[in-house]
Amino acid sequence: MLTFDRYVTATTLDEAFDALQATPGARLVAGATDLLPWAREGRAGDVHLPALVDVGAIPALTAVTGEDGVLRIGAATSIAACERHPLLLRDAGLLARCAVWFADDQIREQATLGGNLVNASPAGDTLPALLAMNARVVLAARDGAGIRERAMPLADFITGPGRTRLGNNEILVRIDCDAVPGHGGAFEKVGHRRSLVISTVCLAVLARLEPARRTLADVRIAIGAVGPVPERLGDAETALRGQRPTPAAIREAAVLAADRVRSRSRQEYRREVLVNFVERGLVAALEQCGLAVQRLPQEIVHA
């Protein structure tokens, strides 16, 4: 059970910092969907905190804007907003594809993008999608009377399962990422069931063709749940960039993903799924760019 002495619903960033400063050991919440299950038997158990500081309703943290090819997404933007915010649908369609697979309809309304990043679960669903969009996290801290911001690539922010570079008196306020209106996108996920499932493997792909539509101008592949931190498949991206996306080239790139599986369990299964996901994800992303690529037929082996 979770107990605490104070609950502060902040309406401005200043109020949130005031509360953090006044109560050492206070914990930030936004959607709070992970917090209550965490404070139960089998996980953290009974937890008592001096204060909860709710930043979910601070307008600056739920704003979504974009200019010059950069999307600025408030950290408390709900996962559900990814499915319906016009700007996100236009410039970050990949997030909607990811959101469809995230928890369930009801939790998507509460859970936030920033919360998913701060939790830093190796299986966090939005992480591969944001990595593929070259996301940078913006962390704010109070500096005298003002607020000082620092930014870093998402890949650097997450350092291990549940571990980030978020400082004690910092708040994750925003995620800046590439607007990718012309890219095809795909999100793949497998788990034990359809809804409310923790990923066993998840994958995000972005792809864009040259104007002549023959070669790949840009391709980005990010994987999650197969190792301690989600990561990009740099070698597969390099192998494909500037190339014609033939079935054989896609297969070759997909196979490169096999040795990225560093999970503690079910490695063989994850390798097979991951390689197939990379292949299927690339084919699906290209299909959105208007290019139909056949997957190479696979030999069916019966046990």
The reply to whether 17 sits near other proteins by the rule CB under 8 A is: no
CB of 52 to other proteins, least distance (A): 7
Subset of 109-138 contacting other proteins (CB under 8 A):
109-110
Q: What would you report as the CA-atom Rg of the chain, rounded to the nearest whole angstrom?
A: 20
Measure the CA–CA gap between 182 and 172, rounded to whole angstroms. 28
The reply to whether 198 sits near other proteins by the rule CB under 8 A is: no
H or E element at residue 106: helix 105-110
Nearest CA-CA partner of 278 in 243, 234, 227: 234
Measure the CA–CA gap between 105 and 294, rounded to whole angstroms. 33
Measure the CA–CA gap between 147 and 161, rounded to whole angstroms. 29
Alpha carbon 257 to its chain centroid, in Å, reads 19
The reply to whether 32 sits near other proteins by the rule CB under 8 A is: yes
One of 101, 118, 183, 220 touching other proteins (CB under 8 A)? 101
CB of 145 to other proteins, least distance (A): 28
One of 11, 24, 48, 210 touching other proteins (CB under 8 A)? 48
The reply to whether 181 sits near other proteins by the rule CB under 8 A is: no
Closer to other proteins at the Cβ: 87 or 141?
Answer: 87
The reply to whether 151 sits near other proteins by the rule CB under 8 A is: no
The reply to whether 7 sits near other proteins by the rule CB under 8 A is: yes
Can you tell me whether residue 51 is helix, strand or coil?
A: strand
Measure the CA–CA gap between 48 and 169, rounded to whole angstroms. 19
Can you tell me whether residue 253 is helix, strand or coil?
A: helix
CB of 33 to other proteins, least distance (A): 5
Phi, psi of 47 (to 5 degrees): -125, 130
H or E element at residue 88: helix 86-91
- Give the contact letters, 76-95, x = binds to other proteins (CB under 8 A), - = no: -------xx-x--x---x--
The reply to whether 71 sits near other proteins by the rule CB under 8 A is: no
CB of 135 to other proteins, least distance (A): 21
| First-to-final CA distance of the chain | 47
CB 204 within 8 A of CB 225: no
CB of 218 to other proteins, least distance (A): 21
User: Number of C-alpha atoms within 13 angstroms, CB side, residue 16?
Assistant: 26
The reply to whether 59 sits near other proteins by the rule CB under 8 A is: no
The reply to whether 182 sits near other proteins by the rule CB under 8 A is: no
The reply to whether 280 sits near other proteins by the rule CB under 8 A is: no
Residue numbers at the binding site for other proteins (CB under 8 A): 1-7, 9, 29, 32-33, 36-37, 40-42, 46, 48, 50, 52, 54, 83-84, 86, 89, 93, 96-97, 100-101, 103-107, 109-110, 194-196, 302-303
